[in-house]
Amino acid sequence: MTTDHAGSVTSDHAADIDRHVRIYITVFVALMVLTIVTVAISRFHLPVHIAVTIALLVAVIKGSLVACYFMHLISEKKLIYAVLALTVAFFIALLTLPVLTVHDGYWMR
Amino acid sequence: MEIPYTVEIRRDTGLTNGKIGIWLFLASEVMLFGALFASYILIRTGSASWPRGDTILDVPLATFNTIVLISSSVTMVMAWASLMRRRFGTFRIYMGATILLGFTFLVVKYFEYSHHLHLGEFPRTSNFLAIYYTLTGLHMLHVMGGMAVNAYFWGPGAKQWKTNPEWFTNRVEHSGLFWHFVDLVWIFLFPTLYLL
């Protein structure tokens, strides 16, 4: 979302911003609730693989809310999506490759 | 010479130069933190045993800091929304609150670090502490950087509002994107280091 050239705020524009502000507050409440959920789940002392899965799932939901609404990714231009798609591909490779080297016993040779 | 495409949209990208610039920068930041997260996974999966974060770190303090950082993200986006509505006074309040919340985060982090250092828990003590100090330390540097930029827009940089409000609003939006990214990184750091 980029500022337009208008020098004054039209009523449509103001209503649009008001709608955005309501979304920001809703997202804020959701993030607070999910933070409490994250901490509460950790108190159950679940097996590591289940705890990791749940914690990362909640973190992904929280991160998506921040990215989509606070960073306006939900209504961005195609070029930004293209840049991020490339970033995500490299990010996944970056996280996966070390794990694969552990599982195939590379460090034990 | 005037800087091009600060307010007007480029026809080829559909964006201002500042917007595409900050997103490219954030993409490089993802890779920076990604490399450290990959190191964390490698060290953790490769070790015979790994401590649960909550047995070493202070979870209530970190939960408080999570709430502080999420709140600062809201005040940041509200600061931008205030400029979009041409309410400069409200912008100042929200931006001031964002800076104060960032400062609160750093104060809490200071107490957390000093507690560990007082107990003799240094980065060299264990792999867990090494990765904890590295990840949270780098994140803290980002908080400081974001605060410096936000403080500039709250203070001396705000003069631009009188001469070029559209450009100023875009710059605050870009600064906000960085700030939200810092919040986003913490959202992943918190469970990874403190709870698992």
Residues of chain B with pLDDT > 70, as a percent, come to: 100
Q: Could you give the C-alpha distances from A11 to A22, B114, B169, in angstroms and in order? A: 16, 52, 19
- Partners of A80 on chain B (C-beta within 8 Å) are 15, 19-20, 23
- Partners of B16 on chain A (C-beta within 8 Å) are 2
Size of interface A-B (CB pairs under 8 A): 144
Q: Could you give the C-alpha distances from B125 to A19, A74, A77, B7, B132, in angstroms and in order? A: 51, 44, 47, 51, 11
B97-154 per-position pLDDT tens digit: 999 999 999 999 999 999 999 999 999 999 999 999 999 999 999 999 999 999 999 9
CA distance A102 to chain B (A): 7
Instruction: Please answer yes or no on whether B15 and A79 come within 8 Å at the CB atom.
Output: yes
- The pLDDT value recorded for residue A9 is 60
Q: Which two tokens stand for residue B146?
A: 């974001």
ipTM over 0.85: yes
Taking residues A78-88, report their average pLDDT: 96
Task: Tell me which DSSP letter residue B159 carries.
Answer: G
- The pLDDT value recorded for residue B33 is 96
Q: Which two tokens stand for residue B92?
A: 């100042």
Cα(A27)–Cα(A12) distance, integer angstroms: 23
pTM of structure: 0.92
The closest alpha carbon to B80, from B61, B67, B95, belongs to B95
CA distance A27 to chain B (A): 9
**Closest chain A CA to residue B168:** A3
Instruction: Name the band, by pLDDT with cuts 50, 70 and 90, for residue A45.
Output: confident
- Of the partner residues B9, B23, B63, the one whose CB lies closest to the CB of residue A39: B63
The closest alpha carbon to A20, from B84, B168, B67, belongs to B84
